[in-house]
Amino acid sequence: MPFRRFAIVATICMALTGCVSLSTPKLEHSWSGRFSLSAQSATQQEHQSGHFELTNATSQTVLDLKSALGNVIARIEETDSYASVEALGKDKVTATDLNTLMRQTLGFTVPVTGLPYWIEGEPAPGSAAQTQPTSPPFSQIVQDGWNIRYETRDSAGAPRRIRINREADETTPALSMTLLIQERHHAEH
């Protein structure tokens, strides 16, 4: 009888919390930790917090945003040929432009393309960046409309707490995101 009661309770909990069932592809680098995110415009205000996992390979970046219980509530994926967003309770949507897709699906954008570089404390290649100071380790990077501030570093000097902000524009609300990096894994080449 106790096992049956446990099974019923577990089934109810899974139904109440919900999750997006996704597998993580084989990747070269990954980071995980906690996040808080606020998006705000004249007509929208969104606050989320929980856990994140960012994984990056040569041709694929995947950002999973998870609830406090660890269930995936949104997956944002970008590859060389397509972008996709899958959110809890919604069908997976694909397109060629990730930022447009996030605006349509989530109502705001997060800087998926730059994150694998910024989370390591360096500017993303391919676009101009302003840094403070002018040589690493940087305390701030301004790139592609985002302001990235490094608030704390771990004992090895890697960024630990990162605040990422962007002002609102005509199509996207202002966004403030804080990442607390708890684990980082780099594949050996």
Q: For residue 84, which amino acid is it?
A: S
**Residue 71, Cβ density class (10 Å: 0-12 exposed, 13-18 middle, ≥19 buried):** middle
What does the pLDDT read at residue 25? Answer: 47
What does the pLDDT read at residue 188? Answer: 60
DSSP string for residues in 28-39: SEEEEEEEEEEE
Separation CA 33–CA 20 (nearest Å): 19
Separation CA 89–CA 18 (nearest Å): 8
Of residues 173, 162, 184, the one with CA closest to residue 36: 162
- Which domain range does residue 45 map to? 2-186
Better pLDDT: 11 or 62: 62
What does the pLDDT read at residue 4? Answer: 37
pLDDT at 84 over 90: yes
pLDDT at 160 over 70: yes
What's the number of domains the chain is made of?
A: 1
| Locus of tokens 């349509």 | 104
The model's confidence at residue 69, banded by pLDDT at 50, 70 and 90, is: confident
Percent of the chain with pLDDT over 90: 58
pLDDT at 1 over 60: no
CATH code at position 112: 2.50.20.10
Q: What is the pLDDT of residues 89-134, one digit of tens each?
A: 888 999 998 988 988 888 888 999 999 999 999 999 999 999 999 9
Please give the average per-residue pLDDT across 36-61, as a whole number: 90
What does the pLDDT read at residue 11? Answer: 34
